[in-house]
């Protein structure tokens, strides 16, 4: 039941005519306001039916009309508040046809029986608009409207800018839970950052359940601006990795449980089957995707998108939503042949630096090996040859047998790691632990935040490597000089200094001083976590410029075949 009357919201002294729940809710909940943008400033308001048959609100003291229903003239009009909360004007003897109704003029609440969107008989576009504040029911900044182009979805606007859309209606919405006998919350929006309109740009998918970043590209596409994606700005979207002929060399990628994409005017036909929908899409080179418009039963209806696919979102498997079929290059659809269990793997291969006379160039190229050679070197990826596991996969050792001139058989164990990233205890003593990976992670953090590489870094003033350079600036209170200018405003100074401190904690010389990765994650994700002061990093060594390391008079003559020093390259 509902009640119609005058009220003053919150602390306001203005008077309004509105409808609210009648004695059902302790706190009055106003669901409709007549004069929301033209309040009465005193208590002299009168609500009555005019001689022309309109419902009007008068300011008696000023003798002016504050609000009017503005419907067509009626012979014997009657105003009635229905049990549904709908205030109607009708002819006294006609209980079915309404000359005017408040349901055609929603404020911020959608009641059962209300409709949004176009009324083609009256030409009225019905939408909801927020209050400005709890004390002011006038038209606010946010509005909830039906897409006028027939895609059966609702948009949330801030002013004229869309900030959220529901996705096309799929024929299923549960509002009553029979088992628990309660009403379910049908919708709450926006729920999370993936509800932000066009969060990931064209062909970008937002998955709130994925590890950060939440944006990824549709298979067969790649970030349009990798630099922006690196700094978590994915609004530029994705582009196709390779062009393909519209009439051949393509297929349709099935993407399950998707929020269907936004498009200014998708083509919709409720009479088509999914097969017919695919056939229509194949004939149209502008068609980029298609889907069923209704998933009830076996699925019916057809929606076809042309142009870029925008505002995609992936839901969890327990959410029943539509499948989307996206046109991609055939190479992205895989093959029907039985694939190998091992498709992709990373192998660390040592390169070589050959010291020759001064005019010779350094050979820093990585040697390329085929899979058979690598399999033989690692005893077919034997568990006994595995040194450990890292974020890039397994690391293996190779045993090289060498027959010395004295006929002794010597075994050389090649422990492969990444130059510039190996922890001191692993590089010097072959001791590997979880703290070794923490050291490598710390080096990466310092490289990223400074924009410089640890390997090959040279500081002419102090003759130290990158870790030594970072440590010197840290103890001198000048660590902010390390921040890479390329990051611009994407990283605040205090954030950058925090990252540097975490990186230094990870590269401390003693393994027991380094934090665990779980602690590192806590440090990076919580601004309130108190960070300890780091100790001197490992491999904080001085270096000598290449041109001053040696001179011809200080070296014995050598050839390419006489001296070979192994340089380990990162995977």
Is residue 323 located within the same domain as residue 369? no
Q: Could you give the maximum distance between any two Cα atoms of the chain, in Å?
A: 123
Backbone torsions φ then ψ of 269, nearest 5 degrees:
-145, 110
Residue 91 and residue 219 in one domain:
no
- pLDDT for res 56: 92
Residue 392 covered by a domain:
yes
Using the predicted structure, report yes or no on whether residue 418 has a pLDDT greater than 50.
yes
Q: Would you place residue 408 in the very low, low, confident or very high pLDDT band (cuts 50, 70, 90)? A: very low
The CATH number covering residue 35 comes to: 2.90.10.10
Note whether 214 and 308 are same-domain residues: yes
Q: How many CB atoms lie within 10 A of CB 284?
A: 14
State the pLDDT at residue 477.
Answer: 86
Please determine, for residue 108, whether its predicted confidence score (pLDDT) is greater than 90. yes
What are 426-437's pLDDT values in tens digits? 666 666 777 888
205 with 118, same domain: the answer is no
Strands (E), 292-321: 302-306, 312-314
CATH number, domain of 240, equals 3.50.4.10
pLDDT at 111 over 60: yes
Q: Return the DSSP state at 508.
A: B
Please check whether residues 447 and 315 belong to one and the same domain.
no
Between 35 and 375, the higher pLDDT residue: 35
Residue 454 in this model has a pLDDT that exceeds 50: yes
Q: Tell me which of 8-12, 125-129, 464-468 is least confident.
A: 464-468
Same domain? For 228 and 312 the reply is: yes
Q: How confident is the model at residue 369 (pLDDT cuts 50, 70, 90)?
A: low
Owning domain of residue 276: 193-333
Q: What is the pTM of this model?
A: 0.42
Q: Does residue 66 contact residue 38 with C-beta atoms inside 8 Å?
A: yes
Which carries the bigger pLDDT value, residue 110 or residue 487? 110
Residue 400 and residue 500 share a domain: yes
- Phi and psi of 179, rounded to 5°? -65, -45
Looking at per-residue pLDDT, the higher value among 262 and 378 belongs to: 262
Identify the residue with better confidence: 231 or 437. 437
120 vs 104, more confident: 104
Task: Write down the pLDDT at residue 187.
Answer: 60
Task: Report the DSSP beta bridge partners of residue 137.
Answer: none
Residue 155 pLDDT grade (very low, low, confident, very high; cuts 50, 70, 90): confident
> Which tops the pLDDT comparison, 79 or 397?
79
Say what the pLDDT of residue 564 is: 39
Q: Look at residue 151 and tell me if it is in a domain.
A: no
Residue 393 is predicted with a pLDDT of 53
**Paired residues of 410 in beta bridges:** 402
In a domain, 363, yes or no: yes
pLDDT tier, 493 (very low <50, low <70, confident <90, very high otherwise): confident
Residue 308 domain-assigned (yes or no): yes
* 447 lies in the same domain as 548: yes
pLDDT-wise least confident of 121-135, 241-255, 342-356, 458-472: 342-356
Give the least confident one: 61-75, 286-300, 452-466, 503-517: 452-466
Q: How much is the average pLDDT of 351-359?
A: 38
**Residue where a domain terminates, one of 333, 363, 387:** 333
- Domain tally, the chain: 3
DSSP string, 381-407: T-GGGEEEEETTEEEEEEEEEEE-TTS
Answer yes or no: do 443 and 535 share one domain. yes
Q: Facing residues of 290 across strands?
A: 304, 325
Residue 370 lies in a domain: yes
Q: What are the backbone angles phi and psi of residue 544, rounded to the nearest 5°? A: -120, 135
pLDDT band at 559 (very low <50, low <70, confident <90, very high): very low
**Residue 202: which of 90, 309, 341, 284 has the closest Cα?**
309
- 375 and 514 in one domain? yes
Which residue would you say has higher pLDDT here, 419 or 98? 98
Residue among 258, 8, 230 nearest 136 (CA): 8
**What does the alpha-carbon distance between residue 290 and residue 560 come to, in Å, rounded to a whole number?**
63
Q: Name the token pair of 504.
A: 């230094």
Q: Are residues 217 and 326 in the same domain?
A: yes
| CB 204 within 8 Å of CB 238 | yes
Contacts of 469 (CB under 8 A, 6+ apart): 457, 459, 462
Query: How far is residue 254's CA from residue 318's CA, in Å, rounded to a whole number?
Result: 17
Residue 274 in any domain: the answer is yes
Interatomic CA distance for residues 557 and 358, integer angstroms: 11
What integer pLDDT is reported at residue 568 of this predicted model? 42
- How does pLDDT run across 540-549, given as a tens digit for each residue? 654 444 343 3
502: pLDDT confidence band, cut at 50, 70 and 90? Answer: very high
| Percentage of the chain modeled with pLDDT above 90 | 25
Domain annotation covers residue 344: no
Residue 322, pLDDT score: 74
On average, the pLDDT of the chain sits at 76
Domain end (from 300, 333, 366): 333
Say yes or no to pLDDT of 348 above 80: no
Range in 27-31, 320-324, 478-482 the model is least confident about: 320-324
- 403 part of a folded domain: yes
Whether 111 and 217 map to the same domain: the answer is no
Residue 103: predicted pLDDT = 93
């Amino acid at each position: 039941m509902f009640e119609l009357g005058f009220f003053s919201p919150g602390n306001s002294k203005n008077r309004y005519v509105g409808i609210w729940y009648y004695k059902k809710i302790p706190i009055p909940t106003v669901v409709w306001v007549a004069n929301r943008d033209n309040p009465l400033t005193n208590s002299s308001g009168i609500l009555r039916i005019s001689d022309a048959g309109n419902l009007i609100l008068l300011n008696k003291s000023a003798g002016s009309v504050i609000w009017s229903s503005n419907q067509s003239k009626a012979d014997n009009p009657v105003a009635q508040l229905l049990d549904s909360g709908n205030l109607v004007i009708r002819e006294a003897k006609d209980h079915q046809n309404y000359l005017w109704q408040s349901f055609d003029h929603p404020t911020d609440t959608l009641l059962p029986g209300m409709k949004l969107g176009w009324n083609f008989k009256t030409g009225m576009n019905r939408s909801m608009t927020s209050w400005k504040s709890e004390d002011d029911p006038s038209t606010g900044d946010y509005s909830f409207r039906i897409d006028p182009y027939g895609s059966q979805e609702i948009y949330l606007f801030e002013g004229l800018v869309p900030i959220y859309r529901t996705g096309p209606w799929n024929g299923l919405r549960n509002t009553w839970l029979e088992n628990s006998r309660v009403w379910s919350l049908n919708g709450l929006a926006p729920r999370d950052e993936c509800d932000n309109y066009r969060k990931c740009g064209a062909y970008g998918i937002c998955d709130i359940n994925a590890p950060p970043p939440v944006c990824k590209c549709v298979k067969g596409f790649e970030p349009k601006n990798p630099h922006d994606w690196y700094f978590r700005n994915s609004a530029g979207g994705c582009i196709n990795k390779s062009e393909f002929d519209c009439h051949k060399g393509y297929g349709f990628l099935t993407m399950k449980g998707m929020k269907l994409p936004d498009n200014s005017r998708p083509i919709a036909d409720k009479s088509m089957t999914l097969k017919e929908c695919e056939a229509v899409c194949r004939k149209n080179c502008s068609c980029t995707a298609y889907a069923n418009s209704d998933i009830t039963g076996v699925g019916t209806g057809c929606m076809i998108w042309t142009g870029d696919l925008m505002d995609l979102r992936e839901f969890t498997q327990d959410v029943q939503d539509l499948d989307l079929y996206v046109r991609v290059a055939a190479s992205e659809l895989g093959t029907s042949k039985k694939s190998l269990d091992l498709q992709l793997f990373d192998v660390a291969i040592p390169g070589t630096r050959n010291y020759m006379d001064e005019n010779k160039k350094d050979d820093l190229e990585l040697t390329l090996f085929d899979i058979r050679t690598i399999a033989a070197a690692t005893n077919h990826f034997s568990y006994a040859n595995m040194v450990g596991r890292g974020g890039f996969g397994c690391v293996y050792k190779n045993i090289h047998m060498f027959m010395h001139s004295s006929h002794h058989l010597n075994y050389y164990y090649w422990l492969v790691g990444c130059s510039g990233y190996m922890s001191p205890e692993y590089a010097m003593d072959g001791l590997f632990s979880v703290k070794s990976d923490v050291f490598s992670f710390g080096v990466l953090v310092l490289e990223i935040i400074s924009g410089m590489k640890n390997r090959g870094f040279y500081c002419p003033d102090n003759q130290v490597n990158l870790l030594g350079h970072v440590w010197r600036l840290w103890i001198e209170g000048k660590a902010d000089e390390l921040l890479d200018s390329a990051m611009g405003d994407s990283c605040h100074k205090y954030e950058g200094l925090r990252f540097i401190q975490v990186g230094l904690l990870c590269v401390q010389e003693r393994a027991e001083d380094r934090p665990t990765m779980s602690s590192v994650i806590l440090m990076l994700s919580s601004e309130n976590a108190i960070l300890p002061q780091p100790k001197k990093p490992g491999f904080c060594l001085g270096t000598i410029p290449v041109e001053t390391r040696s001179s011809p008079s200080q070296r014995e003559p050598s050839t390419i075949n006489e001296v070979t020093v192994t340089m380990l390259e990162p995977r």
